[in-house]
Amino acid sequence: MEKPLRTANELEDLIKQRTIHLFGPWPKAMTLFVFEERMGWNVSISSADTDGNAFYRSQALGTALVLQDKFNLSQPVAS
């Protein structure tokens, strides 16, 4: 079965929305972006500057892993 397609921006929004819903506000200094890989897509999240942000970052990465199983990237990310 084909996975639904989402743009990089849509995937970024989904990751943030689900993480915010479960763990509270997105840290102001934390950045996230989705990028294309040969076998799909992946995310990069900036390094955490506190222990609390490190926990939050790990949860956001976990959210991204769940979404990787549910969605494909619809188009290459513009460089």
Q: What is the pLDDT of residues 35-46, one digit of tens each?
A: 999 889 999 999
- The 3-state DSSP class for residue 35 equals strand
- Biggest alpha carbon distance in the chain? 41
Which pTM was predicted? 0.88
Question: Please, which pLDDT band fits residue 75 given cuts at 50, 70 and 90?
Answer: confident
CA distances 16 to 13, 20, 50, Å, are: 5, 6, 19
Residues 72 and 41: beta-carbon distance below 8 Å: yes
